[in-house]
């Protein structure tokens, strides 16, 4: 995901305010600056809009993330 223009700032600010700063963000982030923002959801939970079933989707961090990022 590549964030552009004002949406970048909005996403970064809201994540930081929620206590989940974007990894690699030099302004609001956590850890050292990175060549790109480490915006990733390890787990998403939601109710399927059609069936009403509770869904949980998990994904590991991208393989090119540095070792200091906890998965």
pLDDT tens for each residue of 24-68: 788 887 777 777 777 778 899 999 999 999 999 999 887 877 665
pLDDT at 23: 77
* Stated pTM of the model: 0.52
Cα first-last separation, the chain: 18
pLDDT at 2: 56
pLDDT mean over 7-18 = 83
With a cut of 80, say whether residue 21 has pLDDT above it.
yes
Ramachandran area for residue 17 (φ above 0: left; ψ -120 to 50: alpha; else beta): alpha
Angle at the Cα of 65 (from 62 to 33), degrees rounded to 5? 135
pLDDT mean over 3-11 = 69
């Amino acid at each position: 995901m590549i964030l552009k223009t004002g949406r970048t700032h909005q996403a970064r600010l809201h994540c930081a305010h929620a206590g989940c700063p974007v990894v690699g963000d030099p302004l609001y982030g956590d850890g050292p600056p990175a060549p790109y923002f480490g915006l990733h959801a390890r787990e998403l939970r939601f109710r399927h809009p059609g069936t009403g079933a509770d869904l949980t989707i998990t994904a590991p961090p991208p393989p090119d993330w540095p070792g200091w990022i906890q998965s």
